[in-house]
Amino acid sequence: MVNVVGARPNFMKIAPIIRAMEARCDEISQSLVHTGQHYDEMMSESFFRDLDIPAPEINLNTGSGSHAEQTAAVMLSFEPVLRQMRPDWVFVTGDVNSTLASALVAGKMKINVAHVEAGLRSFDWTMPEELNRVLTDRISELLFTPSPEADENLLREGIEPHRIVRVGNVMIDTLYHQLESAGRSEILETLALEPRSFAVVTLHRPASVDEPATLQNLFSALAEIGRELPVVFPAHPRTQARMREFGIQPVKEVRVIDPLGYLDFLKLWSNSRLVLTDSGGLQEETTTLAIPCLTLRDNTERPITIIQGTNHLVGLERERIVTIARKVLRGEFENKGSRPELWDGHAAERIVDALIERTGNVQPQLLNLKAVQ
């Protein structure tokens, strides 16, 4: 078994799977490969420490580049690794370039691929992540889904039902596992913040940060919100690079800081009054802890966080962002905060059970494993 990680979101998703596999080490042998898609201290190494992930056996050190360059680099580096290791399965998570690249190599080598967080769709083909999701799902033998609409998406696309297993959300496994450790973080004291008295922002997607007018417009909206409560923005390196390139200076109402490690960031946003983000994972995590979230995008691959959770899809227009933020701050929206089914901290255990059942070793131990019939 080879688990592949490459970028920050992968680390949170693979950590509980590694733990669940370690608990069944008499039945599963695993190795960890890091593609190196994220490679700086705050985007990679610190996460291994915070999430208790063992050091990867292999680091491909592919680094940055265009989508094509990054995908090709991972493929070229990963193929000889698989040729040497010859695992029965390759596990990939999420929708980053490393996910698709690793799945492509494994698929061409006739090695089984399991995709964790399968079936999510934004239906926006301008998003590189949408291409990665759809193609990875087509390649994968086992598709582990987090929610009912993901099952429906896969069935509509012609995926055979026996390949789909609804297990819940592994991101939430990590969230629950790390809450106690995050509680010991001193990030609020460091930033001189009081719980529930500030907003947190993250931005990194091309649609948000690659156009000067859009990024300037978002800073204008954040400045307006910042007049009502402090706004803290741990800025992704890519976003910081775009700010320098476009000559966008941070406004005084928005406190731009460097990226945080997982535990510090969890402590920060989980104590906030409001989160504004273009991240997929934060939509899920804020729903689980009932923190109001404004998603700064025109679409989301996680509609359950809107239907059932605390997420509001607000787009990229300044006026709408500010209007909805003010309504949330005034308490004019019902805070639903209903946790989706199977988002209970045991998704990784269900994944390992399903894998062992599929390979014929033992029967699953957890009775709430849900396969699509």
Catalytic residues: 204
Which contacts of 53-59 are long-range, i.e. CB under 8 A and separated by 24 or more positions?
Answer: 53/5, 53/11, 53/14, 53/15, 53/18, 54/18, 56/5, 56/32, 57/31, 57/32, 57/33, 58/31, 58/32, 58/33, 58/34, 59/33, 59/34, 59/35
Cβ-based neighbours of 271, under 8 Å, separated by 6 or more: 188, 193, 195, 196
Tokens of 192: 């001189």
**How far is the first Cα of the chain from the last one, in angstroms, to the nearest whole number?**
27
Which residue, among 300, 35, 298, 159, has the nearest Cα to 286 in the 3D structure? 300
For the chain, how long is the longest CA-to-CA vector? 60
Residue 255 backbone phi and psi in degrees, to 5: -90, 100
Torsion of CA 182, 185, 191, 196, to 10 degrees: 40
Alpha carbon distances (Å) from 329 to 8, 272, 332:
30, 11, 8
User: Rounded to whole angstroms, how far apart are CA atoms 168 and 370?
Assistant: 9
Round to whole Å and give the CA distance between 105 and 344: 33
Q: Which residue has the tokens 């063992």?
A: 54
At residue 183, the 3 state secondary structure works out as: coil
**Sequence-ordered strand ranges (E) for the chain:** 2-5, 31-34, 58-59, 89-93, 112-116, 142-145, 164-166, 199-202, 231-234, 254-257, 274-277, 293-295, 311-313, 370-371
